[in-house]
Every structure is written in structure tokens, then in C-alpha cells.
Chains A and B, each alone.
Chain A
Amino acid sequence: MMFGAFRATMITCGGLLWKNPSKMSRTRKANVRKRLRAVDAVIEAVNKSGVKCKALDYARSLPKESEMTPRDKYTVFSKKHKGYRKSLHKVPKFTKVTIRTTPSGF
């Protein structure tokens, strides 16, 4: 019995369970990098135009895709998880949200 994306499991006989992988696949990570570079290009274009605004000062302070470690690219800070990190794909709307920095020390 298949109800859309839900899978029926032994544990939940009669119930439904969402199952997602804990980490991203290589293609998903490649697309994360692609999106990071696209945002870099937007910030670069606004920077090159010569305007000055507070939003641009903040955007320029963000690390570029080439300056980020893989850990920062594919995981985000999470106070509830072991190691205080969770995969980026667990963040809602992660494809349209910019999270490049983590609290210092994590």
C-alpha cells in the first residue's frame, strides 16, 4: 500500500513514515555549489555597479563558494543534533535561502 511519498514500514503497520537520507548525494551537492556560485555572481554584479548600501556591505562580507569549506557548504548549525550540525537539505526552502556562516566555535 503506497500513499504517495510515504512508505509503509514494519514498525508502523497501519501508520505512515517519511524517510529521507541523512546526507546529500553527489549530484545534490553539485547543485548546491552551482546555486552558491549563482548567488556569488548576483552579489558581484551589484558590487560592480558601484552602488553603496547596507545590504551590499553584508552580502560582500559573506564567504564566496570558493572560500567555503565543504562542511559549511553542505551542513548547517543545529543545536539539537549530535555534533551540532545537520545536513543543509533538512532546512526548509534551502535552495532559495542563503546560509553561509555558522555561530563561531561550531
Chain B
Amino acid sequence: NSTKIQNGFFKITLQRSTIGLPLKLRRVVRALGLRRLQQTVYHSQTAYIAGMILKVKEILQVKNVKRIPSPEERKKKTEKGYVII
């Protein structure tokens, strides 16, 4: 039952390394599109993505977002302490 829920996306960040983890879990992280630490990736809110997240929940940070920012928006940087809304 993998019907898409239209209210948003998962914003997934790799917070902890996959060193020392079993090969299967390392492959799950790679399947999510995460190659290096602190990398952020956006995915649809479906059951199979949720299952992958929960498999490696100890090393991820997950947020629900309404929309995916474009590459230009992601590149925008501000001073420390300020957030672009």
C-alpha cells in the first residue's frame, strides 16, 4: 500500500556515519541517495521510503517539509544565526 500522501516530503539528513554498520544498512543509506555526512535529500512520503528511514533511524535526522527547494534556493547562504524563510 504505497499510495502517495500529498501533504509533503521527507527531508532526510545523514547525521552519523555508516562506518561499522552492516552492509545491508549501508546499502539502505545509499538507496536513500545519501553519500556523505550532513548531506540532505528529499523524498516522497510513501511507505517504502518510511520503511527505509526506520531501518536506519539511528543515524538520520528527518523533517516533514511542504515543498522541495530548487538547487538555487538550496545554495543561498546567510550569516550565522539567521535562517531564510
Contacts and interface: CB of A to CB of B under 8 A. Distances in A.
Given A93-B21, A96-B16, A96-B21, A53 B50 contact: yes
B58 A46 contact: no
Given A39-B57, A42-B62, A59-B57, A50 B7 contact: yes
Contact of A45 (B15, B16, B59, B62): B62
Interface residues of B, number: 27
Contacts of B64: 45, 48-49
Interface residues of A, number: 23
Contact of A52 (B1, B10, B20, B62): B1
Interface in B12-32: 15-16, 20-21
B55 interface: yes
Interface of B: 1, 5, 7-8, 10, 15-16, 20-21, 45-51, 53-55, 57-64
Given A51-B47, A53-B54, 13 more contacts: A35-B58, A41-B61, A41-B62, A46-B10, A46-B50, A46-B53, A49-B8, A50-B45, A51-B45, A55-B50, A56-B54, A59-B54, A95-B58
